[in-house]
Amino acid sequence: MDYLTEVTPAVMKFFYIRRRQFGIDVYMVGHGLRQLPPKCFSYASWLILFDSSENFIERKKELLKDTFDKILKAQARISKKVEAGNPYYYEIILLDTQIRGSYVAQNKL
């Protein structure tokens, strides 16, 4: 599948829309937000974010303001950890606030 275009494949649309009915969490992982399909931000449950020097402003219009701010803050924390010598540091960011579970509770997300 080509995630780099504006066109979202039919199979992904099906998963995006039916994810809750099937009990599926959608995780998005990429080397930058621009590599992820624009529509995924409306449906993704989680974002796993590693160090990136990408300017995330390119995706601001696809994200809720609170989510965008959360990602920017995480990007700053991740950069500090990487600069301190932990090149593999990452954060898992909750995008779907309807998710309730032990991971969310333990990490106070």
pLDDT in tens, 85-104: 999 999 988 887 777 666 66
On the question of pLDDT at 5 being above 60, the answer is: no
The per-residue pLDDT for 72 is: 92
The one-letter amino acid code at 34 reads: R
Domain extents in the chain: 10-106
On the question of pLDDT at 59 being above 70, the answer is: yes
